[in-house]
Structure 1
Amino acid sequence: MFFVDTLDFEGLGNRSYLAGGPRAAVAVDPPRDIDRVLAVAARRNVRITHVVETHLHNDYVTGGLELARVSGARYLVPAAASVSFARTPVHDGDTVQIDTGLTLRALATPGHTPHHTSYVLTEDGRDVAAFTGGSLLIGGVGRPDLVEPRLTEELARAQHASAHRLADALADDVPVLPTHGFGSFCSSGAGGGNASTIGAERRGNAALTQDAATFVAALLADLEDVPAYYAHMGPANAAGPAPIDLTPPRTADADEIAARLAAGEWVVDLRSRVAFARGHVTGALNFEGDGKLATYLAWLIPWGKPVTLLAETPEQIGAAQRELARVGIDRPAAAASGDPLSWVRQGEDLATFPRATFAELAALRAATDPAAPAEPVVVLDVRRDSEHAAGAVTGAVHVPLHQLRGRLAEIPPGVVWVHCAGGMRAAIAASLLDAAGRTVVAVDDGFDAAVRAGLT
């Protein structure tokens, strides 16, 4: 009897898989921290005999090369992917035996990348799972614009054709097991959900319900900005990533934290946005460890800038270090945990800023005399373009979060009330503004409350 175990990576919105039989297994699109895959294999008491990549990933650093080395498995990579290491090249139609009666078949499904390949797991001649990577997702497809701008439309058409190839080749009850589409910026038009089948996608996925021209036009129209760090992921994966190093970073005292800030390095506070607003090191930036830490920190930070991590516990430092390593931020320069007062030098105070709701913003606007305002109130919307276009606070300045660091000079003078759709991105933005010396209020509220408050 076969099994498929799913490894979720919520911060990045991705999944990896371990699938196999009683004795042997294949790892599909493994993460950089391969200990998670090895632990699943150990619990199953199976040997990893094959490691496969559906494509060269643009949103995270793979652990495939190292997992193959450690486990002695064959490393299967699409033949057309240009890489700098030895691997077993995979062509359309290739099959490998995973265990008795259990085989894996390659299906060329270009679109997310030109070389993208899906893999179909077959038990005793019956297809039982389709690992679709960045091709057919749950309710959508992988983005076609991450390789080369001139190829985007061609790859969008290829996505449509690849989705139909999968639907034509597989029965309705075959589970669809993608790598992307659970919050990943590698996905486009994903409809959500945690599980699906070929039949469900045939009925509800635009790639399978629309003609090619309609689908491509809609897909291209919905593409949004690409996280800046994606530019570094493909080259890292093509070169062959180095093994991960998760040993604890050096401990920084208050003097070192201050020195690193003075040197222009990033000090990142991983605590909740509530705790950060209540008291933080002046100049530190707030990226919640429980949020989309790797995505937003890697997106905003100048690539290669040293990072010092602050958290309540060493375990939180370790979890953040692991997540950041998945996107190539390998070694924190230093770290500190415990009481935030220990992060500032004697005689220095922690910085603070207020949090508020949309109702409080509405009340402030209603009470302010427009003829003689005490201090200008600036509303800053840091949501993405599509979110802003769907509805916005009247009079708000719109600068998407990922552009804010380079556009701080555009924010008008006054007290900046910064908001997003739920609070997390607003907290990051508030910390950036606070570090730049602006007076800020973080709106920690859902955007539906702005509508109820009459602000839109």
Structure 2
Amino acid sequence: MAVQVSVITTSSLGDRSYLVDDGRFAVVVDPQRDVDRVLYRAGAADVRITHVVETHLHNDYVSGGVELARLTGARHLMAAADEVDFDRVPVDDGDVIEVSDTLRLRAVATPGHTYHHLSYLVDEATEDGWAPLGVCTGGSLLFGTTGRTDLLGAEHAHELARRQHTSAGRLADLLPDGAQVWPTHGFGSFCSAGQSDAPDSTIGREKQVNPVFRLAEAEFVTETLAGLDAYPAYYAHTGAVNAAGPAPVDLTPVARADAAQLRERIAAGEWVVDLRHRKAYAVAHLAGTISLGLDGPMSTWLGWLVDWGAPITLLAETPEQIADAQRELVRIGIDRPAAQATGAPRQWAGQPTELRKLHVADFPALAAAQRGNPPDGLPAPQAVLDVRLGNEWRGAHIAGAVHVPLPELPRRMADVPAGAVWVHCASGYRAALAASLLANADRDVVLVNDLFDNAEAAGVRLSRDA
């Protein structure tokens, strides 16, 4: 049977894991912490997992490698130079891993994302010998970009960018143009130095479109470092957890909170997170809660903004949504929410006065308001607040807007001008979180729930000054 590569996507974090099998035996590459998905996929394919491979020590998620190896008895492969507090099979550049008589892996040192990063060439046996099918590149060569080089500290970013350029060239030398590229990061992950919408790629395609091949080393280093933006604060915790060895996942339901308990948690300043869509949140929500819908990267932004270890309470319409949120959170190391409640806002409030609405508008409404004609019921904007990240702001922003990146907003509330604030991001998702934080600080706020790409056509004046 031919070798198959199955993609296991974690879209909320922008990552992919892989199940590589020959119809009998399988290798799992860079598994997420909730390994039940991997076990299900292997069971459906009727293959036995014999090897679990990690391309590097991850920062953006807690690995499932330790647990998957324990459950399956598979060999757990990691770079020999990575210092970890658990048993694993050390792997060095050039090592060959014989999975079966039809499937093997070859380890290739590809430093750049980290110093000890490994990529794994996937070979299939043919009548003429071994033929390379592709390469699992982890955080090295991505679709149209490469992994970022500053996660080990800004002082290492330049040297790692140089090594990233060399590593990409090495993979191109080792593989034919038709070889598939299977990266772990790059689909919205903050581990990526850039973004790409490509669904798949090959070495040949990357040679044509990827800056790492189009630019000389010095130019690549300069461009890569200039493009790096902020990354989530929780990365500092997940990296340490992965080096220590993550504990098994506990996805059992957490305690329920009634209206009185929710009121107490909010009064204590705890994060009570409303997982419903921001449109539903705007219609009615429990005052003091935070909007972080399950329709977006909830765990990324919650993990970025909340004080690590602080109690978190989850609100959703159904128990299934709570379960989905728990799964998302364990992937970044937030293991057990303090409490949860399901239903509707009226069930979470002890009395109607505890419910609140949120003003919502779009960019045409903002354009009208800036001309002095705000839609009925909406306050005239005294300030427009942009909570996107730095690179987004530098690309284009609303003329006269105030820029406070969302990760900085909790500690920079004083930088938001007095009066009614209209807040936007690129889509409305982050702006909803920002609006809820502002409303909880007793600010008069309007959520601009619209795509930023629509702003100029709607009549909002943009500035493109750096």
Give the TM-score normalised by structure 1.
0.97
Task: Give the Cα–Cα distance (whole angstroms) in 2 for the partners of residues 48 and 347 of structure 1.
Answer: 54
Task: Give the Cα–Cα distance (whole angstroms) in 2 for the partners of residues 218 and 287 of structure 1.
Answer: 33
- AA aligned opposite 1:446: L
CA contact (8 A) 1:2 1:19 kept: yes
Secondary structure of the equivalent of 1:168?
helix
Aligned position for 1:450: 455
Secondary structure of the equivalent of 2:422?
strand
Secondary structure of the equivalent of 2:351?
coil
Range with greater deviation from structure 2 (294-303 or 345-354):
345-354
CA contact (8 A) 2:369 2:381 kept: no
User: By how many angstroms is 1:435 displaced?
Assistant: 1.2
CA contact (8 A) 2:56 2:116 kept: yes
Q: Does 1:218 align with 2:223?
A: yes
Q: Does 1:427 align with 2:432?
A: yes
Cα separation, partners in 2 of 1:385 and 1:211, compared to 1, 3 Å: same
Task: Give the Cα–Cα distance (whole angstroms) in 1 for the partners of residues 77 and 120 of structure 2.
Answer: 11
Secondary structure of the equivalent of 1:207?
helix
User: By how many angstroms is 1:126 displaced?
Assistant: 0.3
Task: Give the Cα–Cα distance (whole angstroms) in 1 for the partners of residues 382 and 155 of structure 2.
Answer: 43
Aligned position for 2:57: 56
Deviations 1:220-265 (A, max 9, x none): 1101012111111111000000001000111111011111112221
User: By how many angstroms is 1:149 displaced?
Assistant: 2.0
User: What does residue range 36-435 of structure 1 map to in structure 2 within 5 Å?
Assistant: 36-124=37-125, 125-367=130-372, 377-435=382-440
User: By how many angstroms is 1:347 displaced?
Assistant: 4.7
Range with greater deviation from structure 2 (430-439 or 344-353):
344-353
Task: Give the Cα–Cα distance (whole angstroms) in 1 for the partners of residues 197 and 344 of structure 2.
Answer: 39
Give the TM-score normalised by structure 2.
0.95
Task: Give the Cα–Cα distance (whole angstroms) in 1 for the partners of residues 384 and 210 of structure 2.
Answer: 38
User: By how many angstroms is 1:455 displaced?
Assistant: 2.5
- AA aligned opposite 2:188: G
Task: Give the Cα–Cα distance (whole angstroms) in 2 for the partners of residues 445 and 95 of structure 1.
Answer: 51
- AA aligned opposite 2:296: G
CA contact (8 A) 1:22 1:99 kept: no
Task: Give the Cα–Cα distance (whole angstroms) in 1 for the partners of residues 352 and 174 of structure 2.
Answer: 70
Task: Give the Cα–Cα distance (whole angstroms) in 2 for the partners of residues 455 and 67 of structure 1.
Answer: 53
Identity %: 54
CA contact (8 A) 1:381 1:419 kept: yes
CA contact (8 A) 2:14 2:185 kept: yes
Aligned positions, number: 452
Unaligned runs of 5+ in 1: none
Secondary structure of the equivalent of 1:129?
strand
- AA aligned opposite 1:242: A
Q: Does 1:16 align with 2:17?
A: yes
Secondary structure of the equivalent of 2:205?
helix
Secondary structure of the equivalent of 2:173?
helix
User: By how many angstroms is 1:428 displaced?
Assistant: 0.9
Secondary structure of the equivalent of 1:164?
helix
Task: Give the Cα–Cα distance (whole angstroms) in 1 for the partners of residues 195 and 366 of structure 2.
Answer: 33
- AA aligned opposite 1:455: R
Task: Give the Cα–Cα distance (whole angstroms) in 1 for the partners of residues 351 and 423 of structure 2.
Answer: 32
User: By how many angstroms is 1:368 displaced?
Assistant: 6.1
Secondary structure of the equivalent of 1:405?
helix
Task: Give the Cα–Cα distance (whole angstroms) in 2 for the partners of residues 151 and 200 of structure 1.
Answer: 29
Deviations 1:402-439 (A, max 9, x none): 11111011111101100111111111111111111111
Task: Give the Cα–Cα distance (whole angstroms) in 2 for the partners of residues 375 and 203 of structure 1.
Answer: 49
Deviations 1:42-82 (A, max 9, x none): 00111100001000001000000000000000000111111
Deviations 1:319-344 (A, max 9, x none): 01101110001111010111211101
Task: Give the Cα–Cα distance (whole angstroms) in 2 for the partners of residues 454 and 247 of structure 1.
Answer: 48
